[in-house]
């Protein structure tokens, strides 16, 4: 019974993730903010990305979204970073909108997206973004199933505009928030094994 308790406890400590799916629409955020909250989880933005309030041009004619600033010319748009040492996220889909005049008119363009993986490393790919106009119904839906991002456990995602795009807007991220358990160091596994062996030897001595 004692052996089982030790190994069950160690196995529990090494469980990797717990998932909770959420849709981030930014509708409860503050104009100009460089952070936002998804459920109980906080994200920071870097570079030019920040919360923007501009009704009704968000996806599905909403008010709030992320963008790189009206009238600005930006190549490295910035990143979205989860806050918390043991937190990460899986991104299933996202809506994007690109422009070549700082947000005035839409333009077809490539955007390079790079994700930083929980535990190290990264994934990256370039996607063709094709908005169809300037209204809230004209955003480009980017589903990530079947791409390098499919199931990728991320701590950050960054965006780089490729010519002719110099403006990027981001909305409606479908996320799975990951709560990662603290990894069990190898030394603890060795300690657990040694402890089980010690208990076994003590029992044999008592029997003898």
Token output for 135: 């209204």
Residues 116 and 197 in one domain: no
Residues 96 and 169 in one domain: yes
How far apart (Å, rounded) are the C-alpha atoms in residues 203 and 16? 34
Are 67 and 170 in contact by the 8 Å Cβ rule? The answer is yes
How far apart (Å, rounded) are the C-alpha atoms in residues 70 and 166? 10
pTM over 0.85: no
How far apart (Å, rounded) are the C-alpha atoms in residues 118 and 116? 7
* Total domain count, the chain: 2
Residues 160 and 192 in one domain: no
Please tell me what DSSP assigns to residue 190.
Answer: H
Residues 167 and 193 in one domain: no
Residues 158 and 135 in one domain: yes
Range of the domain at 208: 1-15+183-208
Question: In the prediction, which pLDDT does 171 show?
Answer: 98
Residues 25 and 114 in one domain: yes
Residues 102 and 48 in one domain: yes
Note the pLDDT tens digit of each residue in 25-74. 999 999 999 999 998 999 999 999 999 999 999 999 999 999 999 999 99
Averaged pLDDT score across all residues of the chain:
86
Question: In the prediction, which pLDDT does 206 show?
Answer: 53
Give the chain's residues under pLDDT 50: 2-14, 187-191, 195-196, 199
Residues 38 and 120 in one domain: yes
Residues 95 and 195 in one domain: no
Residues 67 and 141 in one domain: yes
Residues 99 and 138 in one domain: yes
Residues 187 and 135 in one domain: no
């Amino acid at each position: 019974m004692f052996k089982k308790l030790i190994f069950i406890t160690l196995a529990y400590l090494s469980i990797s993730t717990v998932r909770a799916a959420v849709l981030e629409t930014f509708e409860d955020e503050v104009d100009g903010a460089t952070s936002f909250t998804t459920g109980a989880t906080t994200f920071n933005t870097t570079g030019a990305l920040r919360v923007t309030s501009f009704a009704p041009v968000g996806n599905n004619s909403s008010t709030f979204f992320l963008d790189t600033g009206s009238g600005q010319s930006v190549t490295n748009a910035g990143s979205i970073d989860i806050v918390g040492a043991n937190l990460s996220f899986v991104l299933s889909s996202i809506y994007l909108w690109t422009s070549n005049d700082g947000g005035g008119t839409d333009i077809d363009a490539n955007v390079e997206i790079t994700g930083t993986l929980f535990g190290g490393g990264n994934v990256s790919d370039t996607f063709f973004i094709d908005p169809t106009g300037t209204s809230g119904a004209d955003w480009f839906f980017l589903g990530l199933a079947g791409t390098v991002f499919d199931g990728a456990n991320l701590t950050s995602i960054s965006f780089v505009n490729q010519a002719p795009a110099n403006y990027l807007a981001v909305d409606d991220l479908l996320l799975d928030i990951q709560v990662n358990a603290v990894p069990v160091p190898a030394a603890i596994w060795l300690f657990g094994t040694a402890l089980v062996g010690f208990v076994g030897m003590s029992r044999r001595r008592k029997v003898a």
